[in-house]
A and B are shown apart, each in its own frame.
Chain A
């Protein structure tokens, strides 16, 4: 069973379109994240959700709207796609634990290409 699964794996679309990426985790974690990895391979946090509530929003344009219908799901909707949105988007989850034992588990990524 895949712990953190994202769909689709690849997404090719035209500028100006709206698209969504879905993420699900079956680990029972209460925190989920979206990260963006650009062409220079820099991995940057976008959003963090804890128990369906937005905790971190790293000055991401409001064309990006995350939605967490429940603790196990975190989706990312992107409006009016731009060329600069081309990147790999990773979903991750973790469980808040005492003693710093908070491992991040990542999905396999969604490669978004905007033409």
Chain B
């Protein structure tokens, strides 16, 4: 699995877009990028994933650069409830082994 690098922490004003970067410069052609988040001490929650195209769902958008070496998770209108640790994972299908790094602690400020 490709190693991912994320900033340790970020702040975002409530109502603004939160843009969380992830670097995965060693990603291979068959590795997907997944994003999860962990609110306080709850179990991590799936947000979105993609291979090479940009993706959007009801929670967020995922922008993957053309060379696939980095991606950005966008929460379009951050709320206080989005305060959490966000994890970026690069892994192949059928891996049975999702490795979580240290993630980015996002704090949404009122």
Which A residues are CB-close (under 8 A) to B100? 35, 42-44
Are A100 and B98 touching (Cβ within 8 A)? no
Bound-state Cα–Cα, A48 to B94, Å: 11
Are B97 and A56 touching (Cβ within 8 A)? yes
What residues of chain A have their CB less than 8 Å away from a CB belonging to chain B?
A: 4, 31, 33, 35, 41-45, 48, 50, 55-56, 58, 88, 90, 92, 96-109, 111
Segment with Cβ contacts to A, from B11-19, B44-52, B60-68, B71-79:
B44-52
Q: Would you call B43 an interface residue if the criterion is a C-beta within 8 Å of the partner chain's C-beta atoms? A: yes
Which single member of B38, B43, B85 contacts A4 (CB below 8 Å)?
Answer: B43
What residues of chain B have their CB less than 8 Å away from a CB belonging to chain A?
A: 32, 34, 36, 38, 41-46, 49, 51, 85, 87, 92-94, 96-100, 102
Are B46 and A108 touching (Cβ within 8 A)? no
Question: Which 3 pairs of residues, A with B, have the shortest CB-CB distance?
Answer: A106-B43, A100-B32, A43-B100
Complex: chain B residue closest to A6, CB-CB: B43
